[in-house]
Amino acid sequence: MFETVVLATDGSESAARAVTLAFDFAERFDATIHALYVVDETEVETSPERVRADLQAALQERGEEALSEIESQETDVTTAVRRGDPADEICAYAEKIDADIVVTGTRGRHGEHAFLLGSVAESVVRRSPVPVLTARQLDPEEAGDVPEPGEMGV
């Protein structure tokens, strides 16, 4: 049913919940995980020119750290860093590797700038060639009600 899972991450708390869900899918369906981080080139291009190189380097480093964190939890993870528009790159990557599902957080590093979904998550949901599972970031009082990996009823 699900053989290949794309886990889109930006290192945020919302993405951390998506990591848990992706690992649960992988375990449940004996699927492989492809963890993807996209350096947002639009964010770099719209920043003041004097800070672009530093911002590019910082975003690259953040991505590598986020992916290293995921790799430390699971040995059988393929990781990739891409550059460009995050939604475009996530969708293109899912298509390229013939993924069965994309798992992503609903809000990323920019917080609650969109009502229900972050702009990247919303765009991925609308344009993805495969189903998308979004993981909502929980309020602290809700966090205790979240099942541990392997306890989800998928």
DSSP assignment string, 117-145:
S-HHHHHHHHH-SS-EEEEPPPPTTTGGG
| pLDDT at residue 128 tops 90 | yes
CA distance 84 to 106: 19
Global confidence as pTM: 0.82
| pLDDT at residue 41 tops 70 | yes
- At 13 the pLDDT is 74
- For range 59-76, the mean pLDDT: 89
CATH architecture for the domain at 4-139? 3-Layer(aba) Sandwich (3.40)
Segments making up each domain of the chain, as ranges: 4-139
7-21, 60-74, 76-90, 137-151: which range is least confident on average?
Answer: 137-151
- Residue identified by tokens 């309020």 is 139
Q: Give which of 64, 114, 107, 89 is closest to 6, Cα–Cα.
A: 89
